[in-house]
Amino acid sequence: MISGGGTGGHIYPAIAIAKAWNEKYPESEVLFVGAEGKMEMQKVPEAGYRIEGLRIAGLQRRLTLDNLWFPLKVLDSLQKASKLIKNFKPHLVVGVGGYASGPVLFAAQRKKIPTLIQEQNSYAGLTNKVLAKRADAICVAYPDMDRYFPAQKIRYTGNPVRKDILDLKDKKEKAMNHFGLQPAKPVILSIGGSLGARTLNHALLGSMAQFEKNGYQVLWQTGKFYHEEVSKKVAESGLKNIHPMEFIRDMDLAYSAADLVISRSGALSVSELSLVGKPVIFIPSPNVAEDHQTKNAMAFVSQHAALLLKDSEAVADLAPTVIGLLQDPDKQQKLSNAIKLLAKPDAAKEIVNVMENLLQ
């Protein structure tokens, strides 16, 4: 049983773990448990797995009517989690973070079923810190996580990523043709998540004329909320080498085309980019719990493996930072070499090994 979700950063590693497990044990049955109304309820069935939903939701930081329902939702979710475990009879329960992870792992631990936590971020959330006390193993993506978890339970596996990211070799020409890009001009790739990142989009709108003037192309995932606004402004500008897209499905081709990547620093993005090995400028989102995106990015910046721009400085500083980096091949190479050293390409397989050990 695999529980959790809420964001792609939780869901995609969970699916990668399930697929790596089923590759080795195709007869094994995997049941996902998510939160009703969250994206896992769509993404998990699309990946070919069954999912059950809990009514669990987060506690709002301000006083709302939803907060009055929170205790009832927790009790309801605990009861349903216990019932699912009773009926499914899992030999092992994996929690990947997100609302549903708490009730399911708690219920499994009460029934003495082995549990494993997969923590994607460099900062552990409150739920995982509480559940870790009774978990059998904790798979982490960053060193020094004994600040949050019992050292003897930690396994440094990295974050599982999509298989197509693991092999970008010989895809450059196909990528340039796929996106209609010119082979002779450097490509800047900007990714801010499926919904979009306001600061990244505004920073690129303010920088795109300078990028085109310098002979650069921009492959730009605007996100759902900003695509109409961005597309209109790009069309009005008359710029020919700026390519806004609402969502990029073929991320392996996007990474292959890129000479430089601008990105938020969610756990999944950071793990993917370490495998991609291109120079990266992280612009952490300030709107996340405990500022964990900054902590994720700093784990790389401290190893001279990426550059960081604060969200508040991005609009003013993006253009000079990008242009300065693209004009410095030596610095690009050093960043590329350093970020590859932090990659964990076999994370899903390593997590499967930990799961096997718990079952034995």
- Was 104 annotated as part of a binding site? no
The runs of H, that is alpha helices, within the chain are 8-24, 40-46, 65-88, 101-110, 126-131, 172-179, 198-213, 227-237, 251-257, 267-276, 292-301, 314-326, 329-341, 347-359
- Was 9 annotated as part of a binding site? yes
Candidates 310, 278, 298, 291; CA nearest to 200 is 310
Distance, CA of 348 to CA of 199 (rounded, Å) = 32
- Was 272 annotated as part of a binding site? yes
- Was 162 annotated as part of a binding site? yes
- Was 248 annotated as part of a binding site? yes
- Was 261 annotated as part of a binding site? no
Q: Going by C-beta distance under 8 Å and a sequence separation of 6 or more, which residues neighbour residue 59?
A: 67, 70
Helix 314-326 / helix 198-213 crossing angle, nearest 10 deg = 40
Q: Residue 177 corresponds to which tokens in the numbers above?
A: 């043709």
- Was 269 annotated as part of a binding site? yes
The contacts found for 74-79 with CB under 8 angstroms, 24 or more apart, are 74/103, 77/103, 78/103, 78/106, 78/107
- Was 294 annotated as part of a binding site? no
Q: Residue 28 corresponds to which tokens in the numbers above?
A: 């094994």
Candidates 12, 19, 6, 3; CA nearest to 270 is 12
- Was 98 annotated as part of a binding site? no
Q: Going by C-beta distance under 8 Å and a sequence separation of 6 or more, which residues neighbour residue 177?
A: none
- Was 195 annotated as part of a binding site? no
- Was 264 annotated as part of a binding site? no
- Was 229 annotated as part of a binding site? no
The percent helix, strand, coil of the chain (3-state, each to 5) is 50, 15, 35
Backbone angles phi, psi at 215, to 5 degrees: 85, 25
Distance, CA of 217 to CA of 242 (rounded, Å) = 6
Distance, CA of 71 to CA of 94 (rounded, Å) = 24
Binding region: 7-9, 121, 162, 194, 248, 267-272, 293
Per the annotation, binding residues for UDP-N-acetyl-alpha-D-glucosamine are 7-9, 121, 162, 194, 248, 267-272, 293
